[in-house]
Structure 1
Amino acid sequence: MKKVFFYMGVIIFSYGVFFYEPELVNADSLAEVKTAETVVSATRTTRDLAEVPASVSLVTEQEIQRSGSTSIADLLKDIPGVEVSDQSLAGAKRINIRAESGARVLIMIDGQKISEQKSMDGAPLLIDPFVIQKIEVIKGPASVLYGSEAIGGAVNIITKKGGKKVFQAAGNIIYDSSTGGFTENVSAFGKYEKYNYRISGTHSKQGDRETPDGKLKESDSNMKNISGFFGYDTDKLAMGAGLEHYTSEVDSPPIMVGGSPFNLNLPEWSRNKADFFVDLKSVSSSLLKIHMDLYWQKVKKDFEQKMTLNMGPIGNYSSTMSTTNDQKSYGINTQADFSPADTHYIIFGYSFNHDKLDADSVVDFDYLGGRMLPPPPMGPPGPSTDPVLTLYKASISTHAIYLQDEWMLPSDFTLTIGGRQTWVRSELEDTNDPNVKKDKVNGSQPVFSFGVNWGGINNLVLRGLFSQGYRFPDLNKLFIGTAHGGSVTLANPDLDPEKSNNFEIGARFDNGKLKLDVAGFMNFAKDYITRRNIGAGVAKYSNVNKAETRGIEAYLAYNIKSVNLTPYLSATCMKRKYEGKNFSTWKTNTPQFSGRAGIKYETEFTSFPASLWVDMWMRASDKAEDEAFSGDVSTTSGWGTANFAIGSELGKKRNYSISLNVKNIFDKAYTTSKNALEEPGIHAVAMLGFKF
């Protein structure tokens, strides 16, 4: 597999040498080809990407459109340092950042978090790709600005708002041959004087996945989304309100656990949201902006788990566990932006979030036969075949204040210092579980960050950053526990927050031709919460693990304007170490090398109104080894795929678009290190779109 990465590098280098253009480029021509990429997530205020001290990647609306992807996670999988995890659910993928699981990655929509209080896998990506304007990914701890769950990083999904005319419309239809599935979207949007609006609807129905080894039965999914936005915008005031209804149904292929069939499905995973924001702009010469947003959100998950249990001499039983998690959240974020002097830009904010969880579980056993002992009262009883209902009502409230100062220093240095103080109150309010008692847990945590940029060379910015992260235990780990997956894990109200310290350096260079973004990082985490075995088939959540992660992330592209070609490389080199009581290993299911290398071609036709773009690329990953506490090592093999995409925008105003993505051209059978399901074989994704 290392040869694959060698050849990827040779391809990029060869294109750069062969097409190298030594002539000088004047500043005026650069101004025509360079477009500043602005981000808001890294500093909670609008900044050029080159100015932020953190490692940030951006996925644009054009990249989303051309990918043909209907999965948010798949839009992000080629970002250096990002991996996708499916947890055996093809329609409900999560994001890992720098080897941190989805539970340690904060997911936000327009800066408002999606909470998940009863999952080991983190917040779901319950959002329609067609409403997205861009996605900003912060890699590394972002807890100073965004709090808990951002210990590994943060993903901010920024949605589309109004248009430029009174009435505009857009629509897309996508066909994916790997599932035989269609996705349809239509939206209407516009702007009249100071008012703007958008209405959007999407439907997606994906069948079972086709792989080189055959069809993955029960890997299908369905999704529907309806959303609306209405806003008002002037030079001094902007405000807006949004409504969203997202619902999905996700199936999981049956697997074997302990030699017995195991099946799980999610008949419903939905999210409903209402939100409002207001921005006061240019309040005074020193008070530049006041922002406030508030939201209400409900996430509902119906989860069904079925398995067969061989209970020895008392017979065989089928077990069905049906769980409904109903989580209601509301929150408010306020922020003021100050500039008391030309050399300082200060933000001060307050954040509040409240999650209320109602979790109901019904366990039902059915006798299947095979009993070898006499029935009661002569022999021992088996599990009760009467359904057992267990109820939990719990809540968590979080208050936080944060402060950040960007200080412009002499000699082209910029210093960014930030701090955050968070207070958390968690409570199990009610339960009928006789093994669990009602309880309250209070906690607090300060975190800090320190970053510096230097831009003393034209088109080059060097950066360094120290940042801290933390994650408070969720309600499931504190009070409820879980019996999913065929084993029991008990809750632990004495858990401490997970904590991390991150050090990184990096460089960004962009002269309109060569674009480079590289970062090296080391992260030290402690008090990781994991399952600790305390008896046969029983575990308990405990703070037992430490983790050390180190790596290099790089993105390189070179625009050869004379032939309209852009070779590019996106790569990650990373290692991760776990340390626990009497246990230490670097084999942590983390591939050392992974990335994407390719070449793009793009041109505008002069004979008729159309443009053409082509992208050819290879995706590859090194093997990943995972060592268990017992010393057993499992290995996910390295892999590489070849892919091709072609598309065109047509019409005088480029109102129509068509694209075809052909992926895994050589029908490679493979599974990524973080996924449980085999990836699709050779398949095509075709897209037709319009806008006017």
Structure 2
Amino acid sequence: MAGHNPRKWVKVIRCESGKLAGLGALSAAGALSLIAGVAQAADAPIQSGQLSTVVVTATRTEKDLADVPIRTEVVTREEIERTHARTLTQALENVPGLQIREIHGKSGYELSLQGLSSDQVLVLIDGLPISASTGSTVDLSQYLLADVERIEVVKGAASAQYGSSAMGGVVNVITRPIRKGFHADLSADIGSYGKQNDSGRAAGIGSTHGKLGLEGGSDTWRLRLSADVLDDKGFGIDPDAWSRQGDKIKRQQYALRSDWMPSARQRYWAELSAYREDDTQHFTYYVPPNYVPRLKTEKIERDRVVGGGEWTFANQARLQLSGVAERYNSDSDTFSNDWLMTARQAKQRMGHVTTQFDLPTWRKQNWQFGADYHYEDLSQSNNGVSEFAQGRVDRRTVELFAQNDIVFNDNWELVLGLRWQDDSDFGTHVAPKASLKARLLDGQDWQGVVRASLGKGYRVPNLKERYYVFDHSHLGYMVKGNPNLTPESSVSAQLGFRLDWREDLTLDVNGFYNRISDLIQIDEDNATPGGPGVVVYSYRNIARARTQGVETGLRWQALPSVAFNLGYTYTQTRNLDTGSELTRRPQHMARVGVDWSFLPDTTLTARLRYQSRELISSSEANGAVSGAQADGVSPAWTTLDLALNHNFNKSWTAFAGVNNVFNRQRDFANQSDFGPVRGRFVYLGVRYRFSDAP
């Protein structure tokens, strides 16, 4: 395909797919996936580029990734399968600029980007929110990937279609459209932590994983059933000791989805899903003069109901309506020498309805209007006694948004947006956004695009920050909510360019600037005693802050069988009230990926990740740190993952891999070391696929 412009091919395919709309064989999302698949089929054997990927998150309308006016990064299904990612945590850890970090006191993971925390990043499943594990922070480990088509990441407050929680950006998980005919997808794998296996046997099994997907149907009706189970036995640096550095966790996710397409202009869908998690922690607690063995168990249940419809009218106007109702329960019990010490229960309820109306193109303008209604409530008890004076706390939000996508010509596009928000606790707020895309280079071989965005972000304190009680007494601290918090606000600016040479080379550079007012953080300077050996912290609006930096990415198809992906992010943060660096924000992060098809049906994949030192304690921020191992600073780390895939035929694939090849693991005796928790992990598995498409 040298000398051809893939965007022109996509436009032609889109036109032809529109002429075939009367067939009604594909839903709107399915047609878009087919378009992307046809374009990708002409690429080299290793498809590391994303020139023809269709995305929806940035503007909530389908656009080619190279043409979208708001910068979007994509994790494809091919990347997920190539690296054998099992959870959303693993799927995102190779995205440049995303910091995946452990949720302190829990076994899950959260993300941070452009120096903004996980509370400021909105995580969606098909455009609808998912409940956070603790009232605000979404635990990325609590979503398995059996049904995922791709993951789209928009950084900064650039899009008007997303509200309070999207001040730092949006991560949107897009599930696969259901295919016609009958299809089956099964896979299973086992893995080992070596000498750190919970059993103490280096050759033993430390983890098992299996997933199943069955789907199919006709032009009108389609159905999918999926199951994904990940059973991790846990690990310990000394398996003979009581304490375990890695929890024993069993995660299960089941889903049933149905699509109904009575005509080419109508589509309806409904999905029921259930997630279950059983977590066991082994640790010791110091009661002078001895360390007492303790055990903490947590059972998590998430039940989710999703439904919606989409209508396309004769004049090409389109109406979409979708909603989700979710129940999230967590039961946590702590034992000391088999005696029940605490029994904490937390219950969350969340409901969200969104509607969107896209007008037909008018004078090169694409108007879009929408509305969101969001409801959530939270209750928490300890040993049967409510920890909230009100018994239960709740929050309601109504939001309206409008967007105009103005396409001046093939080279210039301007997106203007406005979002109005009314919160039950904090009143109204208006956030304007603007994004500009300019194609400055459009030759036979070279393509160059500049993107700029400016947006106002706004985030109300969530229920966790205002009311939730994190009781990590076994770690020596508690965190209590503060009902007197006020909302955060920000200004976000992004400026970058993308340069493509044919299909072989892509260079992406983006500068970002975020200025936050009334930043919400745990205030370490006002800690109070909470009992023997326990310190109590609270959330406060403590600072004005700034984050700024640059993100770079390079994709190079060096040979038909070899592809490289490189990314580097520099981030500088400041507390503008004190002049100090913000905690838990590393300055340097780098990602290096290599895919090599050294045999026709065999591919070797390498993913290297580097993260520089990060400040842990604000008391070290004013030049007191002399080395990476100093108190209050987590040292830099580097990890390397290797994955191997061999296709025997169209149905059978064998795979194997080694995560953290060099066994880089944190020093668990150093409370300031936030390096990788897991050491080397070796696994192997097999996948089977069957397709009886008409």
Q: TM-score, normalised to structure 1's length?
A: 0.81
Alignment CA distance shift 1:539-1:569 (3 Å): closer
| Alpha carbons 2:329, 2:346 under 8 Å: kept | yes
Which residue of 350, 353, 356 maps to 1:329?
350
User: Which residue number corresponds to residue 303 of structure 1?
Assistant: 332
Matched residue SS, 1:272: strand
- Structure 2 residue 501 is matched with structure 1 residue 501: no
Which residue of 322, 337, 345 maps to 2:366?
345
Q: Compute the RMSD of aligned alpha carbons.
A: 3.1
- Structure 2 residue 274 is matched with structure 1 residue 231: no
Alignment CA distance shift 1:351-1:55 (3 Å): same
Which residue of 449, 459, 462 maps to 1:474?
462
Alignment CA distance shift 1:237-1:544 (3 Å): same
My pick for the range that moved more, 496-505 or 472-481, is 472-481
Alignment CA distance shift 1:198-1:623 (3 Å): same
Aligned amino acid, residue 205 of structure 1: D
Counterparts in 2 of 1:503-652, with a 5 A limit?
503-510=493-500, 511-532=502-523, 534=526, 536-537=528-529, 539-561=537-559, 564-580=561-577, 583-586=578-581, 588-602=583-597, 605=600, 611-629=601-619, 634-651=632-649
Q: What is the rounded CA distance, in whole Å, between the counterparts of 1:247 and 1:68 in structure 2?
A: 22
CA shift digits 1:161-209 (9 cap, x unpaired): 41231x2111011222236110111111012122111001122210123
Q: What is the rounded CA distance, in whole Å, between the counterparts of 2:309 and 2:294 in structure 1?
A: 46
User: Which residue number corresponds to residue 448 of structure 1?
Assistant: 432
User: Which residue number corresponds to residue 367 of structure 1?
Assistant: none
Q: What is the rounded CA distance, in whole Å, between the counterparts of 1:476 and 1:575 in structure 2?
A: 28
Q: What is the rounded CA distance, in whole Å, between the counterparts of 1:324 and 1:78 in structure 2?
A: 35
- Structure 2 residue 283 is matched with structure 1 residue 272: no
- Structure 2 residue 144 is matched with structure 1 residue 128: yes
Gaps of 5+ in 1: 1-23, 309-317, 363-386, 426-440, 606-610
Matched residue SS, 2:484: coil
Alignment CA distance shift 1:306-1:624 (3 Å): farther
Gaps of 5+ in 2: 10-41, 44-49, 198-205, 530-535, 625-630
Matched residue SS, 2:317: strand
Counterparts in 2 of 1:393-432, with a 5 A limit?
393-410=392-409, 412-425=411-424
CA-CA distance at 1:668 after TM superposition = 2.8
User: Which residue number corresponds to residue 53 of structure 1?
Assistant: 69
Alignment CA distance shift 1:479-1:296 (3 Å): same
User: Which residue number corresponds to residue 313 of structure 1?
Assistant: none
Aligned amino acid, residue 660 of structure 1: A
- Structure 2 residue 180 is matched with structure 1 residue 169: no
Identity of aligned residues (%): 20
Q: What is the rounded CA distance, in whole Å, between the counterparts of 1:466 and 1:615 in structure 2?
A: 37
Q: What is the rounded CA distance, in whole Å, between the counterparts of 1:549 and 1:264 in structure 2?
A: 40
| Alpha carbons 1:212, 1:680 under 8 Å: kept | no
Aligned amino acid, residue 217 of structure 2: K
Q: What is the rounded CA distance, in whole Å, between the counterparts of 1:565 and 1:319 in structure 2?
A: 57
Matched residue SS, 1:189: strand
User: Which residue number corresponds to residue 272 of structure 2?
Assistant: 243
User: Which residue number corresponds to residue 193 of structure 1?
Assistant: 219
My pick for the range that moved more, 319-328 or 452-461, is 319-328
User: Which residue number corresponds to residue 432 of structure 1?
Assistant: none
Matched residue SS, 1:209: coil
Counterparts in 2 of 1:360-439, with a 5 A limit?
360-362=381-383, 390=387, 392-410=391-409, 412-425=411-424
User: Which residue number corresponds to residue 294 of structure 1?
Assistant: 323
Alignment CA distance shift 1:671-1:122 (3 Å): farther
Q: What is the rounded CA distance, in whole Å, between the counterparts of 1:112 and 1:675 in structure 2?
A: 35
Runs of 4+ in 1 over 6 A off after TM superposition: 212-215, 255-264, 671-675
Q: What is the rounded CA distance, in whole Å, between the counterparts of 2:238 and 2:605 in structure 1?
A: 24
My pick for the range that moved more, 479-488 or 634-643, is 479-488
CA shift digits 1:277-327 (9 cap, x unpaired): 10002x142x5210000221101112345689xxxxxxxxx9933221111
User: Which residue number corresponds to residue 79 of structure 1?
Assistant: 95
| Alpha carbons 2:158, 2:492 under 8 Å: kept | no
User: Which residue number corresponds to residue 70 of structure 1?
Assistant: 86
Matched residue SS, 1:133: strand
- Structure 2 residue 448 is matched with structure 1 residue 460: yes
Aligned amino acid, residue 519 of structure 2: Y
My pick for the range that moved more, 637-646 or 448-457, is 637-646
My pick for the range that moved more, 665-674 or 226-235, is 665-674
Aligned amino acid, residue 471 of structure 1: R
Matched residue SS, 1:64: helix
Matched residue SS, 2:82: helix
Alignment CA distance shift 1:196-1:603 (3 Å): farther
Matched residue SS, 1:227: strand
| Alpha carbons 1:424, 1:443 under 8 Å: kept | yes
User: Which residue number corresponds to residue 665 of structure 2?
Assistant: 669
Matched residue SS, 1:73: helix
| Alpha carbons 1:143, 1:151 under 8 Å: kept | no
CA-CA distance at 1:560 after TM superposition = 2.4
Alignment CA distance shift 1:252-1:406 (3 Å): farther
Alignment CA distance shift 1:116-1:357 (3 Å): same
| Alpha carbons 1:203, 1:225 under 8 Å: kept | yes
My pick for the range that moved more, 471-480 or 332-341, is 471-480
Aligned amino acid, residue 279 of structure 1: E
Q: What is the rounded CA distance, in whole Å, between the counterparts of 1:48 and 1:159 in structure 2?
A: 18
My pick for the range that moved more, 110-119 or 410-419, is 110-119
My pick for the range that moved more, 169-178 or 621-630, is 621-630
Matched residue SS, 2:251: strand
Q: What is the rounded CA distance, in whole Å, between the counterparts of 2:638 and 2:273 in structure 1?
A: 38
Aligned amino acid, residue 572 of structure 2: K
| Alpha carbons 1:351, 1:401 under 8 Å: kept | yes
CA-CA distance at 1:340 after TM superposition = 4.3
Q: What is the rounded CA distance, in whole Å, between the counterparts of 2:420 and 2:428 in structure 1?
A: 7
Alignment CA distance shift 1:469-1:420 (3 Å): same
CA-CA distance at 1:346 after TM superposition = 1.6
User: Which residue number corresponds to residue 107 of structure 1?
Assistant: 123
Q: How many residue pairs end up in the alignment?
A: 608
CA shift digits 1:381-404 (9 cap, x unpaired): xxxxxx855452111111100011
User: Which residue number corresponds to residue 371 of structure 1?
Assistant: none
CA-CA distance at 1:616 after TM superposition = 2.9
Q: What is the rounded CA distance, in whole Å, between the counterparts of 1:124 and 1:72 in structure 2?
A: 5
Alignment CA distance shift 1:424-1:623 (3 Å): same
Q: What is the rounded CA distance, in whole Å, between the counterparts of 2:212 and 2:144 in structure 1?
A: 12
